[in-house]
Chains A and B, each alone.
Chain A
Amino acid sequence: MMAALRTPRGLATVVILLVLAVLPLLTQAFDQRYLLSIGTRIVIWAIAAVSLNMILGYGGLVSFGHAVFFGIGGYAVGILDAHGVSSGWIQWPVGVAMAALWAALVGALSLRTRGVYFIMITLAFAQLLYYVGVGLEAYGADDGLNISRSRFAGLVDLRDKASFYWLCFALLAATLWFCSRFANARFGFVIRGAKSNDLRMTALGFPVFRYRLAAFTISGAFGGLAGILLANEGAYISPAMMSWVKSGDLIVIVVLGGMGTLFGPLFGTIAFFVLEESLPPVLNLVQKGWGEYWQIVFGPMLVLIALYARGGIDSLFGRRHG
């Protein structure tokens, strides 16, 4: 811990984690409730980004349908709620299991392909569920559905913004912990080795497909968890949760933050949300009405990062060793 403070990266990481850990206290002290809501969404999106990073960053597999797990987690909560099952003890495991199952199915088909085909198949499967969501008249179709938050009787009340935030933060911490272990364990080395040279890994005797499928499934399960949290954050589900735009945003976040780094997805999520929230008002200061076109500024910024900071925000803290 103390050693971590000596590098810029370590210092930035510790400061960010500390601020996130006490965010509800800060927003209360400064009476900025809206900021806690953004903070909650940042933490939830960071879980999804870390989970995407497991396959995109460490595995080199460009999955263009990761937001589908937002939808699966969200709809598991919403549909069960609509049928009177409001216990989180049932909703959450079902949501995570459904996400893992879907990931296993999509992975089994898509991981046999490479490059652009892989991107297109993951996108196609995500769009498939998106249109299923649009067609679900019973659950609000296009308009979505207001839901009541999952109940964990006696343990935690998700309607309390601060409690819910801390629960999300704890789950982000757990996700990051798992990711840090998995990336340096035997399993992670197989995934990373296959990213580096999958022909070589096969020739070494690794059944690469199986390991990738497992990674894809794990990644989907964590994505499902993020979806469950997202549904509870807004007490609302809609097909828009799993639109391809959201999948694109997640890829942008991971690339922006630094692919294949532990905290990169967290950095990326924060940068993404901060820019999304701050660019419009800043542009409006420059010239009234410009705020609407904030993405015209945001887009070139991403291009610059892609061109000049290959490792994303994480690389701005200097080269990493090991």
Chain B
Amino acid sequence: MVEPLLSTDRLVKRFGGLVATDTVSIDVRPGEIHALIGPNGAGKTTLVSQLTGNLAPDAGTIHFAGRDVTRLPTHARVRLGLARSFQITSVLREFTALDNVALAVQAHAGHSFRFLADVRRDERLRAPARRGLEAVGLGERAGTLAATLSHGEQRQLEIAMALAGDPKLLLLDEPMAGMGVEESQRMIGFLQALKGKRAILLIEHDMDAVFQLADRITVLVYGRAIASGTPDEIRANAEVRQAYLGDEIAEIA
């Protein structure tokens, strides 16, 4: 049995009377793509926010890379190798695509209390940033302001930023959101290529993408993980069919 890279133990988060995360225990193993699915309002983003440290859980623990990170601030978790992309595109709009990735590289290149050297001439940041942009297919757009990139390109830029620190685990919050069919296919291909090299926790509404990519799937409904297993097991799971997937699953199966 492989030691999981990330695991939660009976995580609970309440907002007033609403239990947004209801004793959830999930884990992500090294190199696997673990998909988290569930209808709108199932608490997927709330769960991710606790994993990243943006929200503090009310009970339960989060372990990452062999450490208890439940109380660790966001930036410290990122340092340990836990990177994320946002559901709503979140790039530095006033900076070029290359600057965006270079800043992501900089975040992992020691402290930034350096006041004199010109950061745009720092090849220790620029070279890996350029490679990162090329890897996601944005090499040509390096000098473009992030704000003027197309929606799909901004999503790609996000992935390049998340990958810049060479993270152990990627949390991808709906990376295909708002993408056209062609862009989605390209993103699926890109994630497929990452498979095995990095662990990914994928939150996604696009069921085609999920069943193509995932090694394991966890289904979240009303804050509870009602099922967890391989794509085949999830397809066959009666509770899942009833509670959530219904027709969609039947289509794919």
A interface residues, Cβ below 8 angstroms from B: 178, 181-182, 184-190, 192-193, 196-197, 199-208, 211, 214, 322
Contacts and interface: CB of A to CB of B under 8 A. Distances in A.
B112 A187 contact: yes
A179 to B, nearest CB: 10
Which 8 A-B residue pairs are closest in the complex by CB-CB distance?
Answer: A205-B78, A205-B107, A186-B112, A186-B114, A204-B107, A196-B92, A207-B75, A181-B116
A104 B66 CA distance: 36
Interface string B65-97: 000000001111011000110100011111100
B interface, over-half SS = loop
Contacts of B75: 202, 205-208
Contact of B92 (A181, A197, A202, A214): A197
A185 B116 contact: yes
A interface, over-half SS = helix
Contacts of A199: 90
Nearest to B116: A181
Contacts of B73: 207
Contact of B118 (A185, A192, A205, A206): A185
Contacts, number: 90
Given A184-B118, A184-B120, A204 B104 contact: yes
Contacts of A206: 75, 107, 112
Given A187-B115, A190-B103, 13 more contacts: A186-B114, A189-B119, A192-B94, A193-B92, A193-B95, A201-B92, A201-B107, A202-B75, A203-B90, A204-B161, A205-B83, A207-B75, A211-B113
Interface string B107-128: 1100011111111101000000
Contacts of B122: 186
B52 interface: yes
Contact of B84 (A181, A196, A203, A208): A203
Contact of B91 (A197, A208, A214): A197
B95 A186 contact: no
